[in-house]
Amino acid sequence: MEQLRCQKGCLNVTQASWIVAIGDEVLSGHTLDTNSNWLAERLRETPFPVARIIVVPDRDAEIEEVVSAAMDRSGVARIFCCGGLGPTPDDRTVPALARALGVALVEDPATMDRIRVRVRRLHEKGRVPSPDPNPGNRKMALIPAGAMVLRNPVGMAPPLAIPLPSAADQRWLLVLPGVPRELRVIVDQEMIPSFCDGGRAVTYLEAQFQGVPESQFFALLSHLAEAHPAVRFGSYPQAQPGTVIIRAGSSEPTALDRAMAELLERAPKPSL
């Protein structure tokens, strides 16, 4: 029996996002990268769905290499760098981005003022020994020249929005702290409204089948891919044995409806 559902989201529009997750702790398996999953879900509902997620270590050369590749890639309109903005030497994101952009690091006075206020409050609560920012705190006030500092209502590390050269629509490099509670607030309050708004979300459709092995859809999905080139199909076995979801999406709603109608009409029947 098939069950048809629809979801709001985006699939394959002309402008896409890359997510660059930065941190040795992610690559070593000590930390689960929940940020990329959550961010991809949010961006699915914007004109800038995620085309690629890349995890890199806290190494200047590798951060610079991946970000430079994203900047050079046609169709990548938003690059999200997540992590590596903290006060310790292993937080290497900002200097690596400055090198990728070919600009200097400069101290942002407004950010430094906010850090002073936050450190003083932490001192008053007995959480730090001095009311004055230490070198690690001061490090977080250094930003690539030309970057816009966004609001971080939760933490101390400043999120950044950096305009990228473009002959057409505006492209942005968006830099986020890796702490999930900070990242999510900044994305929802600062980045989605200001940098990912506009355009339209298209529709995903999915059908759930029970009692049909996934391999039985091979021939049909191969046919549908050729007959409906504007639609992308995927099959996803579920935890319940014998259950599979076929999901399709397109930036062309009419094409999507036709393709799903054919899927439902020609789908293999459950085994008795």
For residue 44, name the pLDDT band (cuts at 50, 70, 90).
Answer: confident
pLDDT of residue 252: 85
| Domain ranges for the chain | 12-195, 202-266
By CB atoms closer than 10 A (0-12, 13-18, 19+), residue 126 is exposed
CATH superfamily placement of domain 12-195: MoaB/Mog-like domain (3.40.980.10)
What's the average model confidence in pLDDT over 167-181?
92
Choose the CATH number for 202-266 among 3.40.720.10, 3.90.1150.10, 3.40.50.10090, 3.30.70.100: 3.30.70.100
Residues contacting 105, CB < 8 A, separation 6+: 94, 95, 98, 142, 143, 144, 145
pLDDT in tens, 47-88: 899 999 999 999 999 999 999 999 999 889 999 999 999 999
d(CA 172, CA 197): 13
What the block records as the tokens of 164 is 């990228």
pLDDT in tens, 180-227: 999 999 999 999 999 998 655 557 899 999 999 999 999 999 999 999
